[in-house]
Structure 1
Amino acid sequence: MTYKQHYSRYFKEHPQSLHFAPHSHHYWPDVTRDAQLAYWDDSARGVDHKWDIVFGERVPAVQRYLAALLNHPHPEQFVFAGNTHELLYRVISSFAPDKPLKILSTDSEFHSFARQIRRLQERSNVQFESVPTEPYETFEARWLDAIKQGSFDIIFTSQVFFNSGVVAPDPLTWLDEVPEQTQIIIDGYHGCGAIPTDLSTIADRVFYLAGGYKYLQAGEGCCFMAVPKGCQLRPEFTGWFADFVNLAKPQQASVQYADDGMRFAGATMDFSAVYRLESVLAWWHRDGLTVDTMHAYVQRLQREFLTILEEVQHPHIHRGNLIVNDLAHHGHFLTFRLNNAALVEQLAEQLSHCGIETDYRGERLRFGFAIYHDVADYQQFKKALSQN
């Protein structure tokens, strides 16, 4: 089975490239171009009334697709924004700035969270506890111990850690230890659309964040958050979408919020990205292309990739330098830790000259996999590796 035909426009622009960075910027399938034009057409037809189409048709459709994708029982609990950081900060802003705020997380969260938490720590009332993810073999036990030892206002963790590809412990293994008043946020950006995900049993307990830029293949601008059913938090960082249905009514002294996921909505955004996401999810639904199917396909690619490494015996890019060898609990990219950042940058540049596009973070070199790869593509990688 091959899926390349669904990405013909991107391949036309990059005919000689082997794109090993879908975890950074995924190729967009052809259906997203038609979706972009459909947004323009709806805007032209509707003008100021386009919101009737956006909120009456497009947003509910994507909510239903996402709920099905993640086995989430409440489609109306999905809210959209231009980026996940905006949604994250709405949850944080629900806590009074003059009261103590205690947050638990890890040392392997994406840059925007890491930066934001460093800035928050400049407040005297914010206490942050970070659990190192390494060594990964003991992380689950150490994470559980940290949860048991403190009563936190917010717990934030990734589904798949962006700097390693390692899948975090299943929330079902630690949720029972979390007090009811603690808000739990799971960053699913590097898992959603890649790792089979079932939120059915935790949907009413956790916030789940993700977006279209990575494995949902819809590009930037469409991120979402699944909000626990019945959540009554009142984000201070709010916008006019958060009570959209009552917009025409007189605004009362007390700020009102929607009773579903929209209470965490913001203000005007470019909904073309929502259209693009809808087109991808509709394609998957139409062709019966499930996350389980794509995950199995990628795992086969990863095994072939590692077989090539064993054949080539490269001095740096080899299985011994993999951060984690267990592909059973791994996302769709493999991370190699080399001796230093300069070596990583040099290797990445050498591979790029051979048409192999990957990416790196410090001393870590990352190779990502996608359904627009074929096993035969990796002969180009094998040749490039032999030359370097």
Structure 2
Amino acid sequence: MYKKFYRAFSQAPSGSPSAMLHMACHSHHYWPDITLEAVQQYWHDAALLADDKWGPIFHEKIPAWQNAVARTLQIPDAGQIAIAPNTHELVYRLISALDPAKPLRILTTDGEFYSFARQLQRLEELPHVEVTRIPKTPYATLAERFERELHTRNYQLAYASLVFFDSGVVFPELLRITEQKPEETEFVIDGYHGFFARPIDLSKVADKAFFTAGSYKYLGAGEGLCFMSIPSRCRLRPLNTGWFAEMAELENRPGSVNYGDNWLRFAGATMDYSCLYKGLAIFDLFRREGITVDKIHRYVLNAQSRFLNTMDKNSHPLLNRERLIHHDLKEGHGHFFTFDCGTTENSEKLQKELKARAVLCDRRQHLLRLGFAIYHDDNETYQQVFDSP
């Protein structure tokens, strides 16, 4: 039903089988056809307007993007949504705003994405930084264990994923935990694997937590456009700050480092805004066609159910219920399945076998991930995953 919007990107690469089944969509979604026109429009605007392009970008395009994100996540104040080329830049800018003269205690899990996990390892080399990592498994007790630790010690920063990148499992009760967090703790929700996949309502926590995500995965607008929502009462002064943060006072610099009361507090510097045009084009396309996150989620749930039915009819040594890191689909799972193949060698071998039968997927060490998207046919049974080459 939705595949018609992805005609230009649903063809097999040169030299590959024609019936390619793209199941790495949790890593990189295909771009809707409309994004080609959007990139061309960006080129036209930039070439025609030159330096004058900043007016439309900052006064029209960015507010339109902020409003679209705010509607999607039910964030009350769209003006509190900062943008940057990646979430790492935004999160590190937040960390830089914490008092470097005081001990820095950070609470997180052992299941966070590489960029944040690596940054924490580097920070831990400093004598005043202490990181506590709560094991994500067993998932059934994660909420209890994380919340208990959050209220046990004085943490300056807490950081957790809404949907874990390696397993697709949803962090149980994370929004409730955030809503009841200690006042002195800055809280960051990594929402990248949930944004534009699962319905998310931040209306109760928007003024309590930072929320990060971007356009690279489920929105399908490509890399280079990420965002972080900021609590409205935030008065932090990032040490890592760029000239965009002073955009309102460029012509009359006060001689001191001041910060605005909107998203520019966390602004960086110059970036490529072609991704902004692509993201807006997709939001507009989906609005015209009545495609909502709820509909996308239901579509993917149906696809996942068809996959499970097909899987259960086959006797695959690795792709089976016992190997599937699987929780309730409606309440506790993202838009991809993860199979524990036991060893890195097993997952690598299986990935190659799947590619040989025109199924594209990805893996993380011993874990193999299979994703689902709205550009999969609505009658796709996924038997291709299990057939012999």
Say yes or no: TM over 0.5. yes
Q: Aligned match of 2:230 in 215, 227, 235? A: 227
Matches within 5 A, 1:251-330: 251-252=254-255, 254-328=256-330, 329-330=332-333
Q: Distance in 2 between matches of 1:284 and 1:70?
A: 15
**What are the ranges of 5 or more consecutive residues in structure 2 without an aligned counterpart?**
none
- The residue that corresponds to 1:7 in the other structure is 6
Q: 1:96 aligns with which of 85, 94, 99?
A: 99
Check whether the contact 2:11–2:20 (CA below 8 A) recurs between aligned residues. no
Give the partner amino acid of 1:191.
G
**How far, CA to CA, are the matches of 1:232 and 1:270 in structure 2?**
28
1:126 matched to which residue of 2? Answer: 129
Amino acid at match of 1:193: F
Which residue in 2 is equivalent to 1:182?
185
RMSD after superposition: 1.3
Counterpart of 1:387 in structure 2 is 388
- Check the 8 A contact 1:189/1:210 in 2, yes or no: yes
Question: Displacement, 1:343?
Answer: 0.7
* CA–CA distance in structure 2, aligned partners of residues 236 and 160 of structure 1: 29
**1:156 corresponding residue in structure 2:** 159
Q: Does 1:355 align with 2:354?
A: no
2:110 alignment partner in structure 1: 107
Query: How many angstroms apart in 2 are the aligned matches of 1:383 and 1:62?
Result: 38
Structure 2 residue matching 1:302: 3-state secondary structure: helix
Cα distance, 1:377 vs. partner? Answer: 3.4
Superposition deviation, residue 172 in structure 1: 4.0
Q: How many angstroms apart in 2 are the aligned matches of 1:101 and 1:363?
A: 33
Cα displacement (A) at 1:13: 4.8
Distance, in Å, in 2 between the alignment partners of 1:287 and 1:177 is 38
1:171 is matched with 174
Task: Name the SS of the counterpart of 2:166 in structure 1.
Answer: coil
Q: Structure 1 CA distance, aligned partners of 2:129 and 2:384? A: 52
SS of the equivalent of 1:372 reads coil
For 1:157 and 1:272, locate their aligned partners in 2 and report how far apart those are by CA, in whole Å: 30
Question: Equivalents in 2 of 1:173, 1:276: separation in Å?
Answer: 33
Q: Can you give the 5+ residue segments of structure 1 that lack an aligned partner in the other structure?
A: none
Tell me by how many angstroms 1:229 deviates. 0.6
- TM-score (structure 2 length as normaliser): 0.96
% identity of equivalent residues: 44
- TM-score scaled by length of structure 1: 0.96
**Corresponding residue for 1:203?**
206
- Runs of at least 4 residues of structure 1 off by over 4 A? none
Deviation at 1:89, TM superposition (A): 0.3
* CA offsets 1:288-325 (integer angstroms, 9 cap, x no match): 21101100000000000000001112111111111123
Distance 1:384 1:296 in 2: 22
Conservation of the 8 A alpha-carbon contact between 1:221 and 1:270: yes
The offset of 1:145, in angstroms, is: 1.4
Q: Distance in 2 between matches of 1:20 and 1:152?
A: 39
Shift of 1:16: 2.5
Q: 1: distance between equivalents of 2:138 and 2:260?
A: 43
